[in-house]
Structure 1
């Protein structure tokens, strides 16, 4: 197959991958609630982190936000900025389509790897499957603006050059692999452990199978050098340029110099040891493993709750889900596993792909996000098995008909998933309008306190800073959680002011650690409940963001603050059950979660018990954002409260303490202390309050 045909197959596979990703666009391009600034909004929270960085580079926004990074800190921000400047497309358009544009490039290394074995069609069919398989699609679809667009494409490119160097034992191939390894953290820093493992496996492979070849040890030196830290020489992006220049210089020296065999052995050994030290591979791998396997609270010091076990991607997953994510089906996964074994037996260089398969297997314990790394290799393995089986078919047309049909059957469940995978945008237009109103009134130095899920979108749309966000959900989660669930408005406003001013004055250190360093948490919280508590001097305005969409995760939000920091034990048994009415018979309302509320008797039936209700509130949201509340006292000694949000058709059953919380009172019931808070933005989707202290 000549070069033109090769490029043609690459373009065809790329077009297929990109076109499939447009399905989501066609499904929602006429949905007005998903559109802002004449473009569909993105569908991943983390995307706003990078988009805010691009805003800073393009428009000079977020100057007062210490958490917004510059364009050279992340390749995603740099590429986005350049694309906006070069193409003339809006930032919204670039962030929407860039994941599909970049991620579809995975077809290139897949086809190139197959071409190494003179089986370009194998690579083409594998590219069709691997580029749109379940897990990879989910994390690289249109609108999924995140570094995951590089998660499989970049490692596969590195794998191609490493494999090529083992086959032609050409130092130039090793140089290209080393340059790709150097650039990798600029594009996708989360996968450093994987590339380090691939490099180490490459060292072992070369010594085992090519130990008598001179270029083996020169190759090891080059790849090992790619892990050396150059950041102390120059800042990004110059550190990458310096690193690449050093690699090229060493390449020419190694190519032009005849080095004694013993010296090569010693140099390569020293470089491998240096690689192990500077790459911090052991620390990276075990750090990730421990992070994703950790749970609960810390065992020493103050007992803050760990966030990792509340992330859906970070939990155990069943094998069927695991198989679907990697190959589209359980049968497809089994085919891929068999294919990989056959592939390694026939072409041993595929051992170098083992770290990608291994990290994919870790998904069974570590969670969904790890499956994406194994997708391209699994696709190549499955399709390779079809080619092996097809070798038994004599007639060419029948042979390729079999391969085509088998590949189509592998692709089918993935296409079905893509059509059904109708994920919404992160926020809807009305929610963005609320944040835009905040943007009009707030100063760039102001802070908006909200749960970390909403941190990045708040940056992007309101140009204010936050205390916690999608990448900074540490012990400060306790502060926001406590503010959201406390029944004391004094504690809420005092804690908010103290936290923000301390955060700024401490050069943006973890606030909770600073506040509780020399003081008993229970004592400080008690003092903060006092209206006369002496606060630091006000340096900026603070806003409290209470969205409707937080109602579904409010119990999770509360976990972080419903804890005794001294003991690590839960302070109380919080009960909060949002649901919607399924049916009604007389005064009895059956909720979809199985709870029965009898408004006449003033009780609920839950867990087989009848429990009296203290208060029943019916809330109707008006077009102007205000709420009309009708309240009925049922039993003075009732244990539960019920709130019916008519506009949402949501009925929430909760305990009395939760009923008195900041979130319930100020968002659901519009009940707040007007001496401490000012309602500045109000809509059915969110309430934003300005602190008066």
Structure 2
């Protein structure tokens, strides 16, 4: 396929993938409660981490702009180079406190695009994932360019629209995922191009892009290591075959290893390594053409670099939370906290059928795609280079569904090659109309599961506009804190500018324990003391070490003196936390001496309701008029029913341990009455917290906020 035709086709597929993603915002437009600042809110919690960085960069730029006293009508973009120079100088300085994500590539890029485009920050945050995520069609179609127009377009479409990849690059899913596969795959494409062309510019782009990719997402180093090991196998094969042809492969290996080592050992200077990589490409191109490297020196260099990388990376890998199923989550001898991965859906185990569906649309298509990929390898060994993506994708079967999207490009490659072979077979067909219809039907069958998924996968944003607005209304000063569950940490900080103790990047068992205890305990004094302890910078572990676990927990029930803090603390109690409240409790309902979790009392939210029946999980039904609960084997009555909307209470059986709470949103909670005494229930439902300890400052139908006195 000619370059002009290829670029036209690739751009068409790219536009098609972006347009199909518009179905989600189209459906969302019917729900105005999810719109804030003229854009839908995000549907991923981690997105607000990078959004906060972009927000602070824009605020910093506004301050910079004001200091320059710009003339009316002059575009602030003209002063952007000066601002960038000041930013990179000041961000290293200790006297300028900046949020940690301000140095993230994604935050910087988002802030820059917000300045350049006629959209506000919230609109850019929502749009960016669909645009950047769809860019995957270009490197994938570059790999299948020689397969013909239909297989090439199909593989590009599948790479961008397959279930798992779509989920993580849809509108509103603002996270690093939008470019991870794009960058990783592009490096592989440029490696193959450099091996073919041996041009200095390709060397330069390869090394520079590799450094940039590692700055964007550091875990791409595992993809690069995979590339290096496979390239080494290719090189050893050439040596074994005694190929006399001078290959740039060893210079690619040397350059990639050099960049990888620099970025891993000196990550603060990655911007420097990006530019260094560009010039390194030209330098190595000259070397490989004029001074052939001795094979012994090459292997010594390779082994030395590999040893250094393993020495640096192996301890981090062993300490990774993905290995925490096999390594205990402890910080001090004798303290055993709950493993946070047990509570995250994205890292929960999935069965093979779900795995295959997320990658290829079903088991049948997955098997065909994998057979196609290995058939492609058999035909052209160069495509072995992309095996690291398949390996990382298969990691989903062990450590959760989030890894499945790494295998999507492999499935797309395999399906593209399969259609290439089908086209080759159909060449002998004399009836062109029948041949075209057959190909069209096959294409529709392949893409149908993914289109159907887009039609049905309409997720709600992680918060509503009323939640964002009440957080903005908190009368907070710089340095004040919020105490809330880690799921909400990033967006609480984004909208309120309150510091949080836990969030999407800080939620280990040891960090979650005091937050969980403060929210779930039935002793308000414990919640108060824990909040004071966190506010003054003390840790629960230091008290455990000094007084022991039982004595520390007993001390928290009593009045204590704490060091004065100039900062305020706000308890953020969202209604949405009710759905995960048992999970929140689990982190503190654990025996720290052995890690054994305590059994939680019954807790269930209603699934559906009729006129005289409310249904819960496990075929449990409640008659709200009589208080009768029926299951397959039992029949009993609840203690009482509490209607939070009508503010009424009805007693049924004083001997029962269950209560029903009729929520304002129409759902019903059936739970043990022990939950009624928890801090969360008393603060959110009944608003009867001790007024000498907590002051209610704000409330709406989604969040209630208290200030620590």
TM-score scaled by length of structure 1: 0.89
- Whether contact under 8 Å (1:451, 1:469) holds in the other structure is yes
Structure 2 CA distance for aligned equivalents of residues 258 and 421 of structure 1: 57
State yes or no: 1:482 paired with 2:537: no
Distance 2:30 2:627 in 1: 45
What residue in structure 1 maps to residue 633 of structure 2?
608
C-alpha displacement of 1:273: 3.4
Deviations 1:35-88 (A, max 9, x none): 1111122211111110001011111499999893243x3211111011011113
Deviation at 1:478, TM superposition (A): 0.5
Q: Give the Cα–Cα distance (whole angstroms) in 2 for the partners of residues 42 and 65 of structure 1.
A: 29
Partner of 1:100: 130
Does the CA contact (< 8 Å) of 1:107 and 1:131 recur in 2?
Answer: yes
Q: Secondary structure at the match of 2:260?
A: coil
- Is 1:524 paired with 2:552? yes
- Corresponding residue of 2:492: 458
2:111 is matched with: 81
- Match 1:679 to one of 690, 696, 705: 696
Instruction: Show structure 1 runs of 5+ residues with no match.
Output: 504-510, 621-627
Larger deviation: 449-458 or 316-325?
316-325
1:181–1:226 Cα contact (<8 Å) kept: yes
Task: Say whether 1:414 aligns with 2:442.
Answer: no
Deviations 1:216-268 (A, max 9, x none): 32222112112112577683553333542563364255245423x5x343134
Tell whether the 8 Å contact from 2:48 to 2:494 is kept in structure 1 after alignment: yes
Flag the 1:464–1:321 CA change in 2: closer, same or farther, 3 A.
same
Contact 2:322–2:399, Cα closer than 8 Å, also in 1: no
Contact 1:194 1:356 in 2 (8 A): yes
Alpha-carbon shift at residue 118 of structure 1 (Å): 6.6
- Are residues 520 and 610 of structure 1, via their aligned partners in 2, closer, same or farther at CA, if it must alter by over 3 Å? farther
Q: Post-superposition shift, 1:289?
A: 8.4
Query: What is the TM-score with the length of structure 2 in the denominator?
Result: 0.87
1:357 aligns with 2:384: no
Q: Report the equivalent of 2:644.
A: 619
Q: Are the counterparts in 2 of residues 221 and 271 from structure 1 also a CA contact under 8 Å?
A: yes
Contact 1:51 1:460 in 2 (8 A): yes
The CA deviation at 1:482 is 0.5
Which of 69, 92, 100 is equivalent to 1:69?
A: 100
Moved more, 593-602 or 203-212: 593-602
1:470 aligns with 2:487: no
Quote the residue 1:577 is aligned against.
Answer: 604
How many residue pairs end up in the alignment? 668
- Report the Cα distance in structure 2 between the residues aligned to 1:66 and 1:563, rounded to whole angstroms: 37
Shift of 1:150: 1.1
**SS in structure 2 at match of 1:648:** coil
Is residue 9–residue 124 contact of structure 1 (8 Å, CA) maintained in 2? yes
Give the one of 133, 143, 164 matched to 2:193: 164
- Do 1:65 and 1:465's aligned partners in 2 also have CA atoms closer than 8 Å? no
What is the deviation of 1:575?
2.2
Name the CA distance, whole Å, in 2 between partners of 1:651 and 1:490.
29
Question: In the alignment, is residue 492 of structure 1 matched against residue 527 of structure 2?
Answer: yes
**What is the DSSP-based 3-state SS (H/G/I as helix, E as strand, rest coil) of the residue aligned with 1:642?**
strand
Partner of 1:639: 657
Say whether residues 1:201 and 2:230 are aligned partners: yes
Bigger mean CA offset, 159-168 vs 424-433:
159-168
TM-superposed CA distance for 1:582, in Å, is 2.6
Structure 1 Cα separation of the partners of residues 392 and 319 of structure 2: 14
2:144 is the alignment partner of 1:114: yes
In structure 2, which of residues 177, 200, 213 is the aligned counterpart of residue 184 of structure 1?
Answer: 213
Residues of 1 paired with 2:267 and 2:682: CA distance? 53
- Contact 2:472–2:496 (CA under 8 A) maintained in structure 1: yes
Question: Alignment partner of 1:227: what SS?
Answer: helix
* Cα distance change of structure 1 residues 536 and 127 upon mapping to structure 2, 3 Å threshold: same
Instruction: State the Cα distance separating 1:301 from its structure 2 match.
Output: 3.0
Aligned residue number for residue 87 of structure 2:
none
Distance in 1 (CA, whole Å) between partners of 2:282 and 2:198 is 19
1:2 maps to which residue? 2
Please give the per-residue CA displacement for 1:186-235, whole angstroms capped at 9, x wherever unaligned: 22233332232222222222221466435332222112112112577683
Deviation at 1:651, TM superposition (A): 2.1
Change (3 A) 1:641 1:410: same
**Match for residue 506 of structure 1?**
none
Q: Once structures 1 and 2 are overlaid, which stretch shifts more, 270-279 or 287-296?
A: 287-296
Partner of 1:536: 563
Q: Structure 2 matches for 1:218-367, cutoff 5 A?
A: 218-230=251-263, 235-236=268-269, 238-245=271-278, 247-248=280-281, 250-255=283-288, 257-259=290-292, 261=293, 263-278=294-309, 280=312, 282=314, 290-291=322-323, 293-294=325-326, 298=330, 300-367=333-400
Listed as ranges, the gaps of 5+ residues in structure 2 are 64-90
Matched, 1:661 2:661: no
Residue 281 of structure 1 deviates from its aligned partner by 5.7
Contact 2:205 2:278 in 1 (8 A): no
CA distance in 1, matches of 2:549, 2:98: 27
Q: Is the contact made by 1:579 and 1:651 (CA closer than 8 Å) also made in structure 2?
A: yes
